[in-house]
Every structure is written in structure tokens, then in C-alpha cells.
Amino acid sequence: MSVYSDLRAKVNKVWQTVETPPRPRIAVGITTCSRAQGADETLAAIRRELAQRKLEADVVVTGCWGLCYAEPMVEVAKPSGQRVLYQQVTADSVPRLIDEGLDGEGVCGVLALAATGATPVQGVPSLESLHIITLQTRRLMANCGVIEPDSIDQYIGRGGYEGLAQALAMPSEAVIKEVTNAGLWGRGGAAFPTGRKWDFLRGSKTQPKYMVCNADEGDPGSFVNRTLMESDPHLIIEGMAIGGHACGASNGFIYIREEYPLCAERMRLAIGQARERGLLGPDVLGSGVAFDLEVVRGAGSYVCGEETGLIASIEDRRGMPKIRPPFPAQAGVFAKPTNVNNVETYANVPLIMRHGAPWYASMGTEKNKGTKMFSLSGHIQRVAVLEVPFGVPLRRLIDACGGLPEGRTLKAIQPGGPLGGIINAQHVDIPLEPEPFREQGALLGSGGLVIIDDTACIVDLCLYFEWFAEDESCGRCTTCHGGTQRMVEILRRIANGAGRSSDKEMLRLLGDTLRWSNCAHGTAAPTVVLNMLDAFPEEYQEHVEGKRCPARQCRGLVRYEISGPSPNLPAAAAICPTAAIVGKDGAYRIDQGLCIKCDACREIAPEAVQVVDALAPSTV
């Protein structure tokens, strides 16, 4: 503990200067989602503007508050204690921000989102009062947006690595007991108790042993792990190091998907800093315990998120899941005992050690302790990452994110990625914990929640998700690659208007068969289709028997028609990629042989272009 105390004492000043900066501190959140919205340009513009005006201020890079819709975000902190978080600060708006927001007690009102400090700011709501924040309990995300992810000092200054120091002072059994008492289970989707999993590895006598972090977050629409890695990388390192001590493993890998280069960059930097401070290496914090880590970058494969597929990928092979047993705790990476946990699972561990199991278990529900991060995307006003205690009703997250687009109604929710299933809107009050989702035949999964409104077609979405499952099937077992392929063929036929009444039985049979696949990819692949048959029977039936797509999304079941005159029709004809809109003497028609149903003409001339049923009696 004394080595840690020394470390902490050295950085106390660092954190104080963040809390009460000696001169204005301008923090720009640089993450994958803010970058996509121009945060790099914002940062450059701030530096340029300050230099030109010869203004004194510190410009730093922070992480993500989870408010993707408000990016790029900039926080201005002043020596007076005034702290204001600004939203949608594009490079163009930087001069205005600096004009109004940097001097004295000035605030740039148009861009201000919230006051982040203890001092109230007139005319600006406090961060805690924002609807999207009020709902949340930010434990895992406590540092997100607040600290500079490239600064180990700030992490330590906020209490970081204290959990590791405490764990190292305890016998490994006691660490595992604490994790078990906290009730922590794996956040990757399988929800297996973490303490028990660690105990398997601890019990193994073979050396070396490996701690592996699954940062492959492959579920499209899920970006909670990315938020943590980009905003607070040391939290994950600390969790893995505690796990290493608990299990007697001295090596670790963080397997990061190809799509997350910034995560890899920040994790690598953080690992290097942790080594320099003796928080990783042959003698962690002078305890005699050895633990070190390295980053492995994936290369584009969904099934590498399955733990044995991930292990195969680390072993320089095709990332194909293996047949179990042996389980990873017996023979994992390079046939050595291995434990694989998700990013968010590891991130919980330092908090448990620092604050104790009772504190941890004070949040959540009877069966599910603690908090969970969720990412909301799709038909939602505000794309965001939120952290809430288990058991909060799903509807409250949707409301906190501003609800659906204007005038639309909720149709479905897709939790847990393409294999997680699809839930009917009538269950929108479902508590966010695994059991109620299982009752609906779906999976809560790793945190992605895709919100779907009434413009979407469930058959079309099923075809899309099933196609994803087919495309990402590794090909090892015929059950999976053949089963998903067959399902896609049937769904495609239905979407093209050639559905048969026998298809329902066939899809159920395939669903039952896929349950016998080797790994979770195949067993979960039919979830979405079975959910459709159970939860959206009318819509399915209308496609098969009525040859109609009520949402007019399935391309084989719709036709584009010119329904009347419009001054916009020449422009619509000009935008058509296939020149399918033929005009003569001011009268236009669509050549159905050329039309690819891309919808561009309807965007341009909505009053004159109609989407009609192709096979059912026409309404035009």
C-alpha cells in the first residue's frame, strides 16, 4: 500500500490543477464519434484561434461523456470555478465560443449545454439536471469526459489503481470472494458469474496462465466498450491486473476489433504508462506479483467476439470457435489456462475492490447487482451511451434520449446485437436485466439497444440480421453455416413475394436445428426470426399470405409510381441513378424494368412519387 500512497501523493497536485485550473482550461472530447463529427477540426481551430489572439489557456484532450448527439463537445473550466460544457462546437463556431466563453465569467449561451462544476452558472442548467443524465448512475463512466485518457496521473488522482493496491494486499481467494459477493457477472452477454469463472482459472496449476479482455465489441449498434476504452483506458488495465493477481495469471491480452483504432492507440499508451509506474511488469506495486499486458488488434471478424474464436485469433489462426470441452480455463490461449472477460466486466472490478462488495451490490435488483452501460441508436432523437442500475425500465432510457423521431411510434427494440433478437414495442417497460429479456426469447446482451419505429419492416430487418449471421458464420459447422444460409433464402423469398404457408414450419425447424450448432453464433442466430414469428405474427402473415409489406420496405413487394404532376419531377428524373424516370410532354412515368427502388426520386418529389404494393391490388 505504501508504494501506492507515494504514487498517489505525487499526483495529487495534478488533479488539483484539473479541478481548479490556474488559467482557463479548454477540454475537447476526442473519440471515434466526436471525430466523425469534426472534433479534430474543432481542436485545431481552438489552438489556432488562441495563438492568433495571443490568449492564455490550456488546451487538452478528454474522452466521451456518452452524449454522441451533442458532439463535438468542449468543456471550458476557469480559475473562478466556473465550468461549462458546450455542445456541437464545430470549427466554425470556435471563434464565437472564444469571444463569449473564455473571458472572465463569460458564457457562450448558444452553445452551452450544461454547467459541470460545483458553482452554478446563470442561465445554464447543471449537468445533473439534464434529463439524459438524471436517470443515470455513472460509476463505470465516472471518469468519462472528465479526465484526459492519456493521463495516468489524472486517473490515479481520481482514485485509480487504489483497487489494485488493495487487492494485492489480499490473498487471491479473498479477492475472488469479494467479486463473488458483489454479484458481478460477465457483461459480454453470457452473464456467467465472474468470481466463479476466476476460481476455475485460479484452481489450474499449469503456467503460464492468461487473462484475456474481449474488446471485440462486434455487435453493430453496440459501442459501450469503445466509450470506456477511449475515455478511461486505465480502468480496464486495473481490472485485468486485479484479475491476474486473483487467478495467478501473469500475462494478458486485450483483443480490440479492427474498427476501433483509437481504442488500440489509447490502450497501448496506457499500458506503457502503467509499466513506467510499476503498475504492470515483473513486480506490480512492489508486491512481488508479476502481470503484464499486450494489445492484439483484430482484423474484421464478428465471430472473434466468441471467446474461443477470439483465442484462436490470438493464436495466429483463423478465428474459428473451438469445440468445448476443453474450456478456456483448462486450455485456452496457446493451450494454456485462460480467462476471457468483456471490457465492461473488468471495468467493474476496480470499483468493487475500492468501495467494497456491499457498496457495489447496493445498486441494481435482487438478482442483478450494479450498473450496466447501454448504447442507444437507430430511430432515436439522441444517440447516446448511458449507465443505469439494472432493472430500470427500457422506456425510461428511450425517453431520456429524447424519444423517437417526430410523429413516429415505437415498433420494436433490438437488444444485444443481431443475434440478440427483437422485442415488440408492447414490452417497452421491460426492466433492463437478463431474465425478462430471456422470457421474451431475446437476450439483453452486451448493451446495444437499437430503437425501431413504425417505418421499419420486421421481415426486412430479419432478413438483414439473418444475412449478417450467415455472412459472419465461420463455416466450421454445417448446422450454422448451412442453417443460416437456408434461413436467408427463405426470408429473401418471402420478401420477394414468394412466401409459402409452409415457411413458418420450415423456419421453426431451422431454428430448432441451429440450436445444435457448435458455438453461440449458431445457437443464437435464429433468435430474431423466432421472435418475429412469435411477436409479430400479423406482419409476417401479411407478407406470406397477403403478399404485402405493410411498411413498404420489402423490395419485391413494392413498386414506385408517379401518382401526379409536380414541378419537382424533372429534378427527380435527373437524380435517378438508372434513368428510370421517363418524361414526355411534361408527363412522367417510371420504367419498372430499370427502377432499383432506391427512393431518391421520392425524396425529391414526395408529392408525386408513391410507393405502392407491387403484388396486391394497386391503390394508384
Partner 1 sequence: MTETAKTPPELEALVADVKPDNADLLAVFHHIQEAYGYVPPEAIPLLAAKLRTTPAKVFGAMSFYSEIRTEPPPRLTISWCSGPACRLKGGENIRRALESILDVELDQSTPDLALGLRLVQCDGTCALAPLVRLNGRPRGPLTVAEAIRLARELREAGGNGRQA
Residues lying near partner 1 in the complex (CB under 8 A): 32-33, 36-37, 68-69, 71, 218, 220-223, 226, 253, 258-260, 294, 296-302, 313-320, 333-334, 375, 377-379, 383, 414, 418, 450, 452-453, 455-456, 461, 464-465, 468, 474, 575, 577-578, 596-600, 603-604
- Its sign, for the CA torsion 565, 570, 571, 577, is positive
When the beta carbons of 360 and 465 are compared against partner 1, the nearer one is: 465
Count of other CB atoms within 10 angstroms of residue 330: 16
DSSP one-letter string for 468-507: HHHHH--SS-HHHHHHHHHHHHHHHHHHTT---TTHHHHH
For 297, phi and psi rounded to 5 degrees? -95, 130
Give min distance, CB of 288 to partner 1, in A.
26
When the beta carbons of 108 and 474 are compared against partner 1, the nearer one is: 474
- Its sign, for the CA torsion 311, 316, 322, 325, is negative
Question: How many degrees, rounded to 5, is the angle at CA 477 between CA 474 and CA 483?
Answer: 90
> Partners of 461 in the beta sheet?
none
Give min distance, CB of 366 to partner 1, in A.
32
Give min distance, CB of 529 to partner 1, in A.
16
Give min distance, CB of 598 to partner 1, in A.
4
When the beta carbons of 182 and 444 are compared against partner 1, the nearer one is: 444
When the beta carbons of 18 and 461 are compared against partner 1, the nearer one is: 461
C-alpha cell at 332: 485456452
When the beta carbons of 315 and 435 are compared against partner 1, the nearer one is: 315
Give min distance, CB of 418 to partner 1, in A.
8
When the beta carbons of 11 and 558 are compared against partner 1, the nearer one is: 558
Name the helix (H) or strand (E) containing 242.
Answer: helix 233-247
DSSP one-letter string for 323-384: PSSSPTTTS-GGGS-EEEEEHHHHHHHHHHHHH-HHHHHTSB-SSSBSEEEEEEEES-SS-E
8 Å CB contact between 391 and 364: yes
Give min distance, CB of 69 to partner 1, in A.
5
Give min distance, CB of 575 to partner 1, in A.
5
Give min distance, CB of 378 to partner 1, in A.
5
Give min distance, CB of 583 to partner 1, in A.
18
When the beta carbons of 147 and 604 are compared against partner 1, the nearer one is: 604
When the beta carbons of 509 and 596 are compared against partner 1, the nearer one is: 596
Instruction: With H, G, I as helix, E, B as strand and everything else as coil, classify residue 48.
Output: helix
d(CA 492, CA 487): 8
d(CA 620, CA 613): 10
Alpha helices in 423-568 (DSSP H): 434-439, 458-472, 478-495, 503-514, 520-524, 527-535, 537-544
- Position of cell 412469435? 534
Give min distance, CB of 317 to partner 1, in A.
6
When the beta carbons of 174 and 579 are compared against partner 1, the nearer one is: 579
When the beta carbons of 379 and 481 are compared against partner 1, the nearer one is: 379
Give min distance, CB of 506 to partner 1, in A.
25
d(CA 341, CA 210): 11
d(CA 541, CA 135): 39
C-alpha cell at 108: 457562450
